[in-house]
Amino acid sequence: MTALFRPRLLVAADALAAAAMAAERAATTLREQRLLGLATGATMLPVYDELARRLAGEPIARDRVVGIALDEFVGLPAGHPASFTSYLDRAFRAPLRLRPEQVVVPDGVAADRAAVAAHHEAAIAAAGGIDLQLLGIGVNGHIGFNEPGSPFDSRTRDVALAKKTRRAQAEIFGSPEAVPAMAITVGIATILSARSLLMLVTGKSKAAALAQALEGAIGPHCPASALRLHADAVVICDAAAASVLQDRHAIERMTETC
Ligand code: GLP
């Protein structure tokens, strides 16, 4: 597959500055009454902190969905502290004083998994489609929980988590074995149908995955490489995450546009 587009690459000095840049874009989306696609993970926490600070005291729509999550663990009740529902309650919904119905997270426990997936796609469509999709990246290049091998035409579905992903989540659950084996994630086609994409990448541990996504071959072996098929994608990273990128010229040029 060949790249159709080149994501804008903005390199901030450190993780907090990168998160602030991401938060500003997310704040604009919410101020304009548009729909935010929500990612989870440690990388996103400073974004949600900053978003709450920026929007403090500002009116946010009370009558409609404002955020739709990318994924959830399968088999984990929504109230479990490690669920993405709980994460988004703590990091996004409560600080912005949103009602539970305003943040849609796929159900991790309902028995009819195909119905849950269809319901999540329908929720995105009913809310008018995602305007700005926030994304992190896994150390293996995953986006949402689309692990390497995920087809680019995939939609919301249950997936098996890769060993590397379960190891990366082990701290929250106590051990890799305690991490659920399955998750539900929106698909790569669902992500690509958002109007704009914003991938935030911070820290040295993500440098190789970022280089693979932006400079390696495009294909399902690296789900994040799908960003290069989107006409409006921005990658915001810190200097540590940018450290393995080969195209220094592109980095410097893009930095000037911050
Ligand atoms: C999880 C989430 C992804 C996130 C990734 C990276 O796997 N499903 O959406 O991008 O973790 O998380 P972290 O920011 O903690 O490294």
Summarize pLDDT for 63-74 with one digit per residue, the tens. Answer: 899 999 999 999
Instruction: Provide the mean pLDDT of the chain.
Output: 94
pLDDT surpasses 60 at 18: yes
Is pLDDT at 83 greater than 50 in this prediction? yes
Centre of ligand 1 to C-alpha 42, Å, is 7
Average pLDDT over residues 48-75: 94
Q: How many CB atoms neighbour CB 16 within 10 A?
A: 14
Higher pLDDT, residue 104 or 59: 104
Nearest CA to ligand 1 atom 12: 41
Look at residue 252 in the predicted model and tell me its pLDDT.
Answer: 63
Residue 56, SS3 per DSSP:
coil
The structure's pTM equals: 0.95
Q: Confirm or reject: Cβ of 41 under 6 Å from ligand 1.
A: yes
The answer to whether 186 touches 122, Cβ cutoff 8 Å, is no
* pLDDT score at 248: 73
**Which one has a higher pLDDT value, 58 or 20?**
20
Above 60 in pLDDT, residue 53? Answer: yes
199 Ramachandran zone, left/alpha/beta (phi>0; psi -120 to 50): beta
Provide the pLDDT confidence category of residue 190 given band limits of 50, 70 and 90. very high
Percent of the chain with pLDDT over 90: 90
Interval 21-46: pLDDT, tens: 999 999 999 999 999 999 999 999 99
Which of the four pLDDT bands, split at 50, 70 and 90, describes residue 253? low
Does residue 85 line the site of ligand 1, with CB under 6 A? no
26-30, 58-62, 97-101: least confident range: 58-62
For atom 13 of ligand 1, the residue with the nearest CA is 41
The reported pLDDT for the residue numbered 61 is 85
For 143-180, letters b (16+ CB in 10 Å) and e give bbbbbbebebebbbbbbebbebbbebbeeebeebeebb
CA distance 135 to 44: 9
Report which protein residue has its CA nearest ligand 1's atom 1. Answer: 41
